[in-house]
Amino acid sequence: MKRFCFAIAMLVALTVEVAAACPLKFPGSEVSRIGIYVENLSTGKIETSYNADMSFTPASVMKCITSATAQISLRPDFCFKTTVRPLGYIASGILHGDLLVTGSGDPTLGSRHFPDKEKFPAAVISYLRTIGVDSIQGDVIIDDTELPPIGISPFWLQEDIAWEYGAGLFGINYRDNSFPLTVRADGENETMSDQVEVVNRITRGKRGNVVAMRGYDSSVLTLYGTITSPSYTARYSMPSPSFTLYRHLLDALDGAGVAYGGAPSGATEKAAEPMVYRSPVRDEILRSLMVHSNNLFAEGMLRATVLEKPVNKRGIDDAVAAEIALWQQNGLCLDGCRWQDGCGLSPVQKLTPHCLGNVLS
């Protein structure tokens, strides 16, 4: 058995040495660039490297950097907090004021990736019953101003932001900031969205190739291209997750028989202690982030590292600058690297195998 294990170890070592000496061969390798960096974590010895200091476009490998940054920057018990605060005063079961919902950039709020988590609208109804409110004279107000209003990196491609994987991160995020939509090849839509106006230009063809376009902050989603079946279903990004949360909270109030006035009261005083709704903790989010390669979670965790700063210093550029400073303080050489987001969606982002290896070690 020992001889067998030794032989396997030698074979693996030989394979790595050959791979480092000669670029890996695979279909398309003749037009590809390959980088290899292998470090022995026990000894710190660099076992082999090939183009280790060459710049590569990392794509979702950038999530490794983001997760490592969050591991260093955030406490293990870190969680995002969404606050529900009744304003005005409560008398005879009536809240004479508004119900204020303030977010902190939680990307997991209502996410399908945490199905066992208590649903936020249900938690709000339970809270209102606890404080004795069965009617709201004012309105539900959604405050998403804890993060800057620009939710996406300026380096992302226009063709990406209409899809779920290109959803922006805001002060309030809800249901993965995306929605499913089914369209037909005859120009009709089988399902609708309260978020966007759908312009369906999809036709039937021998190959499937659907393109989705929606301008940033636009409510018009244009679909064109071809599909091979009568209908096509995909998930697209929400231009305003706050609006969807607002609608869902009103639906929850209706379902629970809680009347509401529908017009902001302007009240500012606190009517009761607020409800604080907590997300899963740091490593639970990071685990889901890495398993599902979740872009929204990656952007949320990177932005979490600057939540203690003033609001105007919590943008994506600020978070990336803080991330770069963190790793430079830890002695990391970033030559050949260009970091621009947390998820790797930017096509001009750069990372070297040497840098990635050092971050992971």
Quote the CA–CA distance of 314 and 147 in Å, as a whole number.
6
Please, how many CA atoms are within 13 Å of residue 318, restricted to the half-sphere of its CB?
Answer: 17
Of 171, 168, 178, the closest CA to residue 82 belongs to: 171
Quote the CA–CA distance of 104 and 314 in Å, as a whole number.
11
In which element (H, E) is residue 49 found? strand 46-50
Quote the CA–CA distance of 139 and 246 in Å, as a whole number.
10
State which amino acid sits at residue 24. Answer: L
Q: Hey, what domains does the chain have and what are their CATH numbers?
A: 37-43+56-78+281-361 (3.40.710.10), 79-180+232-279 (3.50.80.20)
- Residue 334 near residue 323 (C-beta atoms within 8 A): no
The pLDDT tens digits of the residues spanning 193-214 come to 888 999 999 999 999 999 999 9
Residue 255, token pair as written in the block? 């379902």
- What's the Cα-to-Cα distance from 190 to each of 248, 270, 286, 312, rounded to whole Å? 21, 45, 35, 41
- Residue 316 near residue 153 (C-beta atoms within 8 A): yes
**Beta bridge mates, 224:** 201, 211
Is 0.95 topped by the overall pTM? Answer: no
**What is the side-by-side strand order in the sheet with 275-278?**
140-143, 99-102, 81-86, 275-278
Quote the CA–CA distance of 168 and 237 in Å, as a whole number.
8
Per-residue pLDDT of the chain (361 residues; tens, 9 = 90+): 444 333 333 334 444 444 445 567 888 888 888 999 999 999 999 998 999 999 999 999 999 999 999 999 999 999 999 999 999 999 999 999 999 999 999 999 999 999 877 799 999 999 999 999 999 999 999 999 999 998 889 999 999 999 999 999 999 999 999 999 999 998 888 887 888 999 999 999 999 999 999 998 899 999 999 999 999 999 999 999 999 999 999 999 999 999 999 899 999 999 999 999 999 999 999 999 999 999 999 999 999 999 999 999 999 999 999 999 999 999 999 999 999 999 999 999 999 999 999 999 9
Residue 67 carries which DSSP code?
H
Quote the CA–CA distance of 100 and 149 in Å, as a whole number.
18
Distance of CA 209 to the CA centre of its chain: 25
- Residue 173 near residue 240 (C-beta atoms within 8 A): no
How confident is the model at residue 22, as a pLDDT? 58
How confident is the model at residue 216, as a pLDDT? 86
How confident is the model at residue 195, as a pLDDT? 84
State which amino acid sits at residue 153. Answer: S
How confident is the model at residue 26, as a pLDDT? 85
- In 22-119, which residue ranges form alpha helices assigned H by DSSP? 62-73
Quote the CA–CA distance of 222 and 189 in Å, as a whole number.
12
- Compute how many other C-beta atoms are within 10 angstroms of the C-beta atom of residue 65: 24
- Residue 157 near residue 208 (C-beta atoms within 8 A): no
**Beta bridge mates, 36:** 50
- Residue 270 near residue 87 (C-beta atoms within 8 A): yes
